Amino acid sequence: MNIPRYHYEVVLPLLHAFSSLPSVNVTLIAGASGYGRFGVFPLLERESKPYPLQLVDEKLISPKIGTPDLLFLTSCPEDIVKANKTITKWLEAGTRVQCIAHEPGKWDARPKGNSQYAEQIKYMVPWIEKGQWEIVVLAPHVQKYVQKHFPKFFGTGDGVVYNAPVIHPVFKANEEDIQVDFVEPFGAIPGKYEPWRRNYDRIFKQYAQVRPQVKLHLVGSGSDLIVPEAIETRIIYVRDLTFPEYFAHLGKSVALIPAFASPAYIENQASSTVATSLIVGTPLLVNSTIAKAYSQIPEEAMWLQKEGQTEMESFGDISFLPVHLWAEKKAKVAEVRDKMIAENLEFFESVAQNISDSKSTSTKSTKSRKSTKSTKSAQASRAAATVTNNVATAFK
């Protein structure tokens, strides 16, 4: 389920993983404002193979569409707001729920926590305590945060252990990985032009000082940013692409630059730029702190800044490297992505098997109870018959 218009870069790998499992019937519940924009629909159809895409529009959410064994909420609090009545019916019928904590720093449901999701968290807690609801995350540092803070955020204390398994929001954007544009090579900062997410001022100042060999593309959407006049011709806006175009363009770049403007991305939140790097097969340019936070990616699949270097100083060094080293680094990123896709499949195979085993145990238990009840009933009948016969004999 994904009701909001965003998070489709997470929906796609999940759809791929679930659809790759044998004997699993997958249905996507989503809003047209999301699946109908930016050319995402053909990608949804592709990732649902070998099965045709089964799509239920959010307006039709109802217990009448059937009861799932597993409900995966890609946009957890927002999905609950829209579909809580139906989700409740499903939970009462035994459905298991997994939901992604995208911004767990905002999930403090205590009075002083002022969480915008307080009501949704209160909704989750009873089902978490029953073992029917599991929190999942998208990066190792987020996992550590959830494990440490959610017992107090949710008021469950030591009674609940939040394992918060990590899933990888990655898939292969193109059938064949796109090679670096060797004719006009460039680095890229992906995403909306939002200064509270990405520190463009810092990057522009560094770029003006270093003057790397290659240009810098801002691949996303939004209004023009304030760029120093000296580098205006070196900063290129690439706007309003469809998802396939966006991934294809970023796949041609030498490096993706996260340019984090907030420590949240290394403390309690997973960055979409990190996932995009893997999706398109282009290495990130990061320092050792970021590399440690995203430890699921080995350092040999990143461009790692030297100690004391700024981002653009490191980018300048990369721009002078022989092109075959650019290609080799991209190949390492592709290897890591393919390994993560396999790990996703392995994880959801285990989830599906666990659900299947639980249903089998429940069925056996029900049959056992019926058998026991039948046996007891037969024993009671025989006992009653014996008593009756005895009584009858006594009065002969």
CATH number for 186-323 (one of 3.30.420.40, 3.30.365.10, 3.40.50.2000, 3.40.50.300): it is 3.40.50.2000
Report whether pLDDT(381) > 60: no
pLDDT for res 395? 25
**Averaged pLDDT for residues 256-277:** 97
The neighbouring-strand residues paired with 219 are 190, 238
The DSSP code sequence of 261-327 is SSTHHHHT---HHHHHHHHHT--BEE-HHHHHHTTTS-GGGSEEPPTT--HHHHHHHHHTS-HHHHH
Q: Any residues with CB less than 8 A from the CB of 358 and at least 6 apart, and which?
A: none
| pLDDT higher than 90, residue 90 | yes
Residue 183: the pLDDT is: 84
Please name which of 7, 6, 3, 44 lies closest in space to residue 26, comparing C-alpha atoms. Answer: 44
Instruction: Identify the helix (H) or strand (E) that includes residue 22.
Output: none
- Confidence check: pLDDT of 102 > 80: yes
Q: What is the pLDDT of residues 145-184, one digit of tens each?
A: 999 999 999 999 988 999 999 999 999 998 777 788 888 9
Element (H, E) at 193: none
Q: What pLDDT does 379 receive?
A: 46
pLDDT for 394: 27
- How would residue 35 be classed by pLDDT, with cut points 50, 70 and 90? very high
Backbone angles phi, psi at 166, to 5 degrees: -95, 125
| Per-residue pLDDT tens digits for 304-354 | 999 999 999 999 999 999 999 999 999 999 999 999 999 999 999 999 999
What is the model's pLDDT at position 304? 97
Return the higher-pLDDT residue of 188 and 386: 188
Quickly state the pLDDT bin for 380 (edges 50, 70, 90).
Answer: very low
CATH code of domain 8-159: 3.40.50
User: For residue 388, what pLDDT is reported?
Assistant: 26
Q: Where in the chain is the domain with CATH 3.40.50.2000?
A: 186-323
Beta strands in 21-117 (DSSP E): 28-30, 55-57, 70-73, 96-100
Q: What is the mean pLDDT of residues 250-262?
A: 96
pLDDT of amino acid 359 = 80
Cα four-point dihedral sign 36, 42, 48, 54: positive
Residue keyed to tokens 């008021």: 155
pLDDT single digits (tens) 185-215: 999 999 999 999 999 999 999 999 999 989 9
User: For the whole model, what pTM was predicted?
Assistant: 0.89
